[in-house]
Amino acid sequence: MTITYEYEGALYVNLTNKCNCSCEFCLRHGKAQGSIYTQDSLWLEREPTRQEALDSFLGRDVCSYREIVFCGYGEPTYRLDDILWLVDRLKERFGEKLPPVRINTNGHANLILGRDVCPKLKGRIDTLSISLNANNAADYTALCHPVQGERAYQAMLDFAREAKAYVPHVVMTVVDKDKTPEELEESRRIAQSLGVQLRVRSYIDS
């Protein structure tokens, strides 16, 4: 079972397969052969305990990485309480030497967990990378298929706006596939209105 793995100098952490979305472009669909996300080993046969995850960290030279990234296979904030516990343990152990911590998320933590988790991110998470994906709720729902339906879009925007108060770097991302320059500009405007940056990601096709 792969809990932590290296990628481009960063240490990636995989705690869950669960996700409330089913994005058309999700690498979990196995469309990107050769991608690290399509390796069978990243599909967890069961979720690791927080102690197993901590042991996986401590088996590595944690401070040698440029960043620690909680990400997929699934949506990591299903395990947010465990992520925060892990960050606290790592900070206790490594203090200022601990590399910056990022979560790659669909921005649905408050929706999934049914409570406002943003204040808990303060002092623990350095960067949030939130998938914006679309410029309105209808397009978002058609692309990402959240089980909560169209309200998931506004929940994601609200999460980004609020998280900005607690997390130093909040970035929203869009995938460039099938997007016009005007649509990308509109995404940029939305991100700006929330007080966060936009990053345009390349689509990895098969």
Judged by beta carbon, residue 21 or residue 111, the one nearer ligand SF4 is: 21
Residue from 106, 110, 129, 141 that binds ligand SF4 (CB under 6 A)? 106
47 binds ligand SF4 (CB under 6 A): no
Residue from 11, 56, 72, 179 that binds ligand SF4 (CB under 6 A)? 72
128 binds ligand SF4 (CB under 6 A): no
Count of beta carbons in the 10 Å neighbourhood of residue 123: 11
> What are the DSSP calls for 34-71, one per residue?
TSGGG-GGGS-SSPPPHHHHHHHHHTS-GGGSS-EEEE
Evaluated on CA atoms 176, 149, 36, 9, the torsion sign reads positive
Using DSSP's 3-state secondary structure scheme, residue 6 falls into strand
Number of amino acids touching ligand SF4 (CB under 6 A): 11
Residue from 1, 6, 7, 22 that binds ligand SF4 (CB under 6 A)? 22
Cis peptide before 73 (omega within 30 of 0): yes
Which range binds ligand SF4 by CB under 6 A, 23-31, 119-127, 185-193, 194-202? 23-31
CB of 85 to ligand SF4, least distance (A): 22
Q: Where does this chain bind ligand SF4 (CB under 6 A)?
A: 19, 21-23, 26, 28, 72, 74-75, 106, 144
